[in-house]
Amino acid sequence: MEPEVYPMNGGDDSYSYTKNSNYQREASNVASEMINEAIAKNFDVKGLTSTSNTLRLADLGCSVGPNTFIAMQNVLQAMEKKYHSQGLSTKMPEFQVFFSDHASNDFNTLFSSLPPERQYFAAGVPGSFYGRLFPKSSLHFVYSSCALEWLSKVPEDLLDRNSRAYNKGRIHYASASEEVFNAYTSQFEKDMGIFLDARAKETVVRGMMVLIIPGLEDDIHYSQLLPGLTLDILGSCLVDMVNAGLLDQAEVDSFNLPMYFPSPKEMARLVDRNGCFSIERMEMMRPRSKTDVPLDPQTLVMHLRAGQEGVYTKHFGREIVDKMFERAFRKSAEFSPLLDLSSTMKSQLFLVLKRK
Amino acid sequence: MEPEVYPMNGGDDSYSYTKNSNYQREASNVASEMINEAIAKNFDVKGLTSTSNTLRLADLGCSVGPNTFIAMQNVLQAMEKKYHSQGLSTKMPEFQVFFSDHASNDFNTLFSSLPPERQYFAAGVPGSFYGRLFPKSSLHFVYSSCALEWLSKVPEDLLDRNSRAYNKGRIHYASASEEVFNAYTSQFEKDMGIFLDARAKETVVRGMMVLIIPGLEDDIHYSQLLPGLTLDILGSCLVDMVNAGLLDQAEVDSFNLPMYFPSPKEMARLVDRNGCFSIERMEMMRPRSKTDVPLDPQTLVMHLRAGQEGVYTKHFGREIVDKMFERAFRKSAEFSPLLDLSSTMKSQLFLVLKRK
């Protein structure tokens, strides 16, 4: 079955992902230093270029830019630096960068905003990363940031009225029962297994993979999950609308966000089960540096809207979703404590893998 | 300087290229038999797959489909057949197909209409083929159909009022002076030189290139050029509009279609000058088979519109272009003799090159 698809908002208007993805960009900024270190330490330029005069990079879940361009530029510079530092300046390969996302992603916007001064050959690859996207052993560096938290679909049990995982009155597992949480976990394990299998085939031996996924620190209960708390507020807006007679209860009961936020322990277990990658580095990090301008609640809601609107609209229709985000805007006071938390909590999982 | 860009009409409405490209498809159908023969005879499956377990194909100037999907599918099948016939069924490589066109091409439509049952990894590559698009020695098969007749720009002399190549009252070289024709020829030679240089770098040794370009038989004068005669009728619609006071003469004088239709001799000379490719086959062919339903004038005008509207609109604006095509529609009687000619004339240049 085709995975379900909810692209980021395309184009470049006021609700677009292009204009509302600073938060994701800041997460990349914090990560970029760590990526530089990982490339300097682990990227095997000698070994990798002995078999190919081209290095192929992929950003999986690239959306429409500009974050993907900034991230790929950073990776390229770190690689070039490594070539120079190893005395291999004359052996510098050519770079090909594959920007990949669902076929419904706005590739027209992506392509028309490619940096004109780029030092690489650009290509777009449409399709779900829960499946093969590239030929065997064709990628040297795989990157994915703020994308793998999207499951391929809503866990089926959540929609079964007779299941103990039926998620009445909630849109996510954050404040839900253990059964609901377990259904999400099991879907994530299945999806991540497929993801790692596909990448293991596509990545050359000694190739590198950097994953950034909003996640949960080990040994913290999922009810304390920061993005989950945010989703609870959005869910409460929907429940308010049910109470105001604007929306059927059943509509809310049958909706669940297909997003999951894994812990390091969980990821380590799945990487180990796959068996093709070694973990070179894994840690939870703060998504924003101390020098970043503090997020205000309105900006947070705009970001949520640009990144997640599609999945709500598909279920509830545009009118309800407009009203939901208006209500979320008015509830900004409730977001404030979460924003304070977000400046101190390590809510981003950073993972460097190497293909064995 | 960025080459000028006039994409085919995107989307899938009544003026779209998707709905108005049967003619181009028929040209591919006639060519497909010849491509099958060329692959059977010249495509070196043993040599090419000894160095890579992936075969990389590119369609340059792919537009939005469906023609590109049909053409690439045909190429793949011919390659698979060759593997089987050589007893190499177990060595079948994976295929990656790059669909390339200008960044302003409607890649969203292209990607959303990719055949779901395709047996290849698909990628889109935005950019002009008058320049590098791919890493060194990365392509095994390059295809381009009905695209290389578009020049990178209008030859500069045509816009210089003081030049003898200033093309007053005409929009093309078909019925123009020798100087105008020479200016077009010289731009084509420059562009084709750049095209061949770039492809020589990108294509692996023993790789293959198939080019289909609307062209002119050797030793036929350019005033007899079939697509040129069609353009003359469109030009005459504009001149009628000048006479009716709907359009400034200067607007017509300053407009020239950046399209050129080469002869086999001319192409042979340019391939030879480049020096990196051997000509395996070159001939003029009929673009339509005898069993194809005869083209009617209205359909022809719709096809011209889907393929060329962009270049007119950029210069004249939408309103004038709507009127021009309405007038062309009414002049359909004038197209009829051309359509009769087109069923007998060999107006398509078919070229198979091999990377030395």
Give the tens place of pLDDT for each residue, B39-50.
999 998 888 877
C-alpha to C-alpha distance for A140 and B93, rounded to whole angstroms? 19
β-pair partners for B355: B277
CA angle B27, B32, B35 (to 5 degrees): 125
Give the tens place of pLDDT for each residue, B252-297.
999 999 999 999 999 999 999 999 999 999 999 987 666 666 677 7
- Range with the largest mean pLDDT of A334-343, B130-139, B214-223, B329-338: B130-139
Q: What is the DSSP string of B235-285?
A: HHHHHHHHHTTSS-HHHHHT----B----HHHHHHHHHHH-SEEEEEEEEE
| A299 pLDDT more than 60 | yes
B124–A103: do the CB atoms touch at under 8 Å? no
Residue A86 sits at φ, ψ, to 5 deg, of -95, 10
Residues of B in contact with A133 (CB under 8 A): 121
Residue B101 confidence (pLDDT): 97
Residue B298 confidence (pLDDT): 79
Band the pLDDT of A315: cuts 50, 70, 90: very high
Residue A75 CA, chain-centre distance (Å), reads 17
Whether A112 contacts chain B with CB within 8 A: yes
B135–A107: do the CB atoms touch at under 8 Å? no
Name the residue type at position A76. Answer: L
A103–B114: do the CB atoms touch at under 8 Å? yes
Name the residue type at position B28. Answer: S
Q: What is the DSSP string of B109-141?
A: HHHHTS-TT-SSEEEEEES-SSS--S-TT-EEE
Whether A134 contacts chain B with CB within 8 A: yes
C-alpha to C-alpha distance for A303 and A22, rounded to whole angstroms? 8
**Positive or negative torsion for Cα B308, B310, B315, B321:** positive
- Tokens (6 digits) for A341: 């938390």
Whether B135 contacts chain A with CB within 8 A: yes
How confident is the model over B55-71, as a mean pLDDT?
Answer: 93
Residue A201 or residue B32, greater confidence:
A201
Give the tens place of pLDDT for each residue, A129-187.
999 999 999 999 999 999 999 999 999 989 888 889 898 888 999 889 999 999 999 99
A54–B138: do the CB atoms touch at under 8 Å? yes
Name the residue type at position B139. Answer: L
Residue B203 burial (10 A CB sphere; 0-12, 13-18, 19+): buried
- Tokens (6 digits) for A27: 């997460």
Chain A segment 295-334 residues within 8 A of B by beta carbon are: none
- Range with the largest mean pLDDT of A161-170, B58-67, B198-207, B342-351: B198-207
Rounded (to 5) percent helix, strand, coil in chain A: 45, 15, 35
Q: What is the DSSP string of B181-230?
A: HHHHHHHHHHHHHHHHHHHHHHEEEEEEEEEEEE---TT--GGG-HHHHH
Residue A298 confidence (pLDDT): 79
C-alpha to C-alpha distance for A124 and A98, rounded to whole angstroms? 5
Residue B289 confidence (pLDDT): 65
Whether B98 contacts chain A with CB within 8 A: yes
Straight-line distance from the first to the last Cα atom of chain B, in angstroms, rounded to the nearest whole number: 30
How confident is the model over B211-229, as a mean pLDDT?
Answer: 88
β-pair partners for A212: A145, A350
C-alpha to C-alpha distance for B323 and A226, rounded to whole angstroms? 59
User: CB-based contacts of B127: which residues, under 8 Å, 6+ apart?
Assistant: A122, B100, B102, B103, B133
| B22 pLDDT more than 70 | no
Give the tens place of pLDDT for each residue, B107-157.
999 999 999 999 999 999 999 999 999 999 999 999 999 999 999 999 998
A123–B121: do the CB atoms touch at under 8 Å? no
Residue A173 or residue A14, greater confidence:
A173
Whether A201 contacts chain B with CB within 8 A: no
C-alpha to C-alpha distance for B246 and A7, rounded to whole angstroms? 46
**pTM for this model (two decimals):** 0.92
SS3 at position B53 = coil
- For residue B122, the chain A residue with the least C-alpha distance is A125
Strands B277-285 and B348-355: antiparallel
CA angle A146, A150, A155 (to 5 degrees): 160
Question: A114 to chain B nearest CA, in Å?
Answer: 9
Other Cβ atoms less than 10 A from the Cβ of A101: the count is: 27
